[in-house]
Structure formats: structure tokens, C-alpha cells
Amino acid sequence: MEVSLIYDLSLSELASLLVAWGEPAYRARQIWRGLYRNFWKTPEEFTNLPASLRKKLTESLLFNNLVPVTTLRSSDGETLKTLFRLQDGKAVETVLMKYDPSVAVHQAHRDHPGQGRRTVCISTQVGCAMGCVFCATGQMGFKRHLSSGEIVAQVMYFARQLLAQGEVITNVVVMGMGEPFHNYENTMSAIDRLNDRGGYNFGARRITISTVGLVPAIRRFAAEKRQVNLAISLHAANDELRDSMLPINKSYTIDELLAACRDFIAITGRRITFEWALVNGVNDTPEQAQLLARKLKGMLCHVNAIPLNPTDGYSGQATTRKHAEEFKEVLSRFGIPCTVRLRRGMDIHAGCGQLVSEY
């Protein structure tokens, strides 16, 4: 029988469990703080609890279900990618990106962001059902959803690692393996747990969820009026091209997707980021840039363009610097803010799913 993961429990579920064991409910807060403030990862570390309760916790709950198998470090030392084995033997990847690594990023940065960011990119599924052609995770197909606790535990792992260096995570991006809106409930429960003021207390505004465009889920997300940022993997400005790159487009056209985005902005007042993997000669052309600019006209948005991370299962190649700059230039002319990001961690296969594919 599989033992429950402690990170799968909400505070009230933990309190109910303790009461059922005949323990006072206040023990739940002690455990909660141990998990989410001190990042303790074994029951033995909870020396503020009676030995009998520590023993019961050891027997009844799993504290550490992510076994790090490999960690790769990019040659510039700024990106770390860890492959974790889960309890059932499946594997996921989580990435830590250090921006301005020479700046010590401690607690104050979380509340008053300045120079230096420590961003963790987490996974929500093993594999992915969306089948985006350029993506290593999409190429491996869908295996299973991660539980909310398995999502939270990835953040806790890196929070612990950074704490050892006196640093903190400043941003969480839900852009690793999987489509978070396909695993909506578990993803939102995980975010609620990270937000919890009595626990990790990580601000929703420092979290970004990226979706390939599940329109009903975008509408649901908008209605919930969370403070979490939304990013859309767009990658093409006309349906014919997007159909060929992202199969989800056959279910929800670009116009339907952008209508949901406009409604999201109207409801939440939040800016949307559009992600664009620049593929040489495919979607990095002036025509695509102009079409995109027209589609996004008047929207509170930003385009994040990044040269494609090539994968074995897709013949497309990364754009050139020249094409990337021209792409940005066209958008700028139309007043659409655009950033062309550096490819981080290319030498460690930082594109999602690439390390698991090898594993």
C-alpha cells in the first residue's frame, strides 16, 4: 500500500488526522511550520514533537518522495536541473535558474524584489497529453498527473537547497513537464499550499502558470481571480501553423484563445505573457510577427520570445540572432512589448522533458 505524502495534506486535513490519532490539533501548526518554514524533511528533525508522535508520523506518512537521481549544472553555473524519481519509479524534472548569481538573494527580495532572482520551474505531470511537436515532454506522451504534494515538494526541495546558502526562492514558474491546466485541481491545491500565510507564505504574484491554451480552464482561472500570473504558449499567429505545432489548437482556435485572454485581462486586470519559441524559418518571420502584432493589438500583454531548444523528435532548429532581433523589432513597431530571452541551460538540456527522455 502506498503511504500518503505529507505535502498532499492541507493544514485542516493534517489537523483532522492528528485529532483522529488522539493528538491535540495545535500539533498540526507545529508540523506545518516545520515543513514550510524550516523545510524539515524527516520526522526526526521535529524535535519539538513528542517521540511517540514522531514515530507515528514515520510509520504513517511519507516525508520525502522525491529522490534526486541526477543534477546537471549549466556551464555558466546559473541553471541547475534535477531529475527526481517518484515513489512509483516515474521521473520528473525541476529547474532552478539563478539570475545575477553574484547577488545574494535573501528573504527581503521575496517581498521587495530587487536585483537577483532565484526562479524554480516545476512540473505538474509525468509526460504530457498535449503533444506539442517541438517539446520533449510532449513527445513522450502522458503518463500521469502529479499530486498536489508532489508539485509542492519540488519547491520545498529547492527552498532547502537555497536555504543552505542563505538564499530564498523569489519566483516559481509552472512551466516544467506537463500542462498545468490539464491537472487543474492538484495544481491549484499546490499553489494554495505555497501561498498559505501560516506556512511557506509565497506570494501568488511571484508565481506564473503557463498553459498551452485550454480555453475553459483559462476562463475558470479568470473567474477565480487569483493573483497568479498567466503565460500562454502561443508560438504561431495563424491557425494553420499553430495546428501543425500545437495539436490543442484544433480544439480551440487562436481567436477563441485570445478572446479568453482578453476576458482574463478584463476580469483580473493582470497582464498576460505570450511565450514564443522561435523556430528558424517557421515562426520567426516578419509575416508571423506582423500577424501576431495585429492579433495582440490593444492587449495588456508582453511577448517572451526564446530561440527553440531543439529536440530529437522535431526537425525544427533555433532561430538566428538576426531573425530574433527582426521579430522583436516588428512587434516594437506595433507597440507590442517583446523580450528575446537568452537560452538558459542549453548545455544541460533545460528544455522541459529532455533529461527525463534520456533517463
Catalytic residue set: 93, 352
**Residue from 74, 137, 186, 187 binding ligand SF4 (CB under 6 A):** 137
Binding piece for ligand SF4, criterion CB under 6 A, among 54-62, 127-135, 263-271, 311-319: 127-135
- Cβ at position 124, least distance to ligand SF4 in Å: 9
- Helix, strand or coil, per DSSP, at residue 171: strand
Query: Would you say the C-alpha torsion 277, 282, 287, 291 has a positive or negative sign?
Result: negative
**Residue from 135, 172, 173, 217 binding ligand SF4 (CB under 6 A):** 135
Q: Which of 28, 128 has the CB closer to ligand SF4?
A: 128
The phi, psi pair for 5, rounded to 5°, reads -85, 130
As a whole number of angstroms, the distance between CA 143 and CA 233 comes to 21
- Helix, strand or coil, per DSSP, at residue 321: helix
| Residue 130 makes contact with ligand SF4 by CB under 6 A | yes
Binding piece for ligand SF4, criterion CB under 6 A, among 171-179, 223-231, 252-260, 324-332: 171-179
339-358: contacts with ligand SF4 (CB under 6 A)? 352
Helices (H), 117-168: 136-140, 148-163
| Residue 138 makes contact with ligand SF4 by CB under 6 A | yes
Is residue 69 a contact partner of residue 122, using CB atoms and an 8 Å limit?
no
- Cβ at position 155, least distance to ligand SF4 in Å: 18
- Burial label, 175 (beta-carbon count in 10 A; 0-12, 13-18, 19+): buried
| Residue 217 makes contact with ligand SF4 by CB under 6 A | no
278 strand-pairing partners = 307
> How is residue 255 annotated by DSSP?
H
For the beta carbon of residue 161, count every other beta carbon within 10 angstroms.
19
Binding piece for ligand SF4, criterion CB under 6 A, among 12-20, 21-29, 151-159, 176-184: 176-184
| Residue 213 makes contact with ligand SF4 by CB under 6 A | no
- Cβ at position 138, least distance to ligand SF4 in Å: 3
- How many residues in the shown chain lie near ligand SF4 by CB under 6 A? 13
Query: What letter represents residue 228's amino acid?
Result: V
Query: What letter represents residue 60's amino acid?
Result: S
Nearest CA to 261 out of 227, 233, 287 is that of 233
| Residue 132 makes contact with ligand SF4 by CB under 6 A | yes
- Cβ at position 148, least distance to ligand SF4 in Å: 18
252-281: contacts with ligand SF4 (CB under 6 A)? none
Residues 6+ apart with CB under 8 A from 19: 25
As a whole number of angstroms, the distance between CA 292 and CA 286 comes to 10
User: Cα 302 to chain center, whole Å?
Assistant: 18
Q: Which of 129, 204 has the CB closer to ligand SF4?
A: 129
223-252: contacts with ligand SF4 (CB under 6 A)? 233
- Cβ at position 233, least distance to ligand SF4 in Å: 6
Is residue 57 a contact partner of residue 23, using CB atoms and an 8 Å limit?
no
Q: Which of 135, 152 has the CB closer to ligand SF4?
A: 135
**Residue from 28, 66, 97, 128 binding ligand SF4 (CB under 6 A):** 128
Is residue 135 a contact partner of residue 311, using CB atoms and an 8 Å limit?
yes
- Cβ at position 275, least distance to ligand SF4 in Å: 9
Q: Which helix (H) or strand (E) holds 287?
A: helix 286-296
For the beta carbon of residue 300, count every other beta carbon within 10 angstroms.
15
- Cβ at position 3, least distance to ligand SF4 in Å: 29
Residues that bind ligand SF4 (CB under 6 A): 128, 130-132, 135, 137-138, 177-179, 212, 233, 352
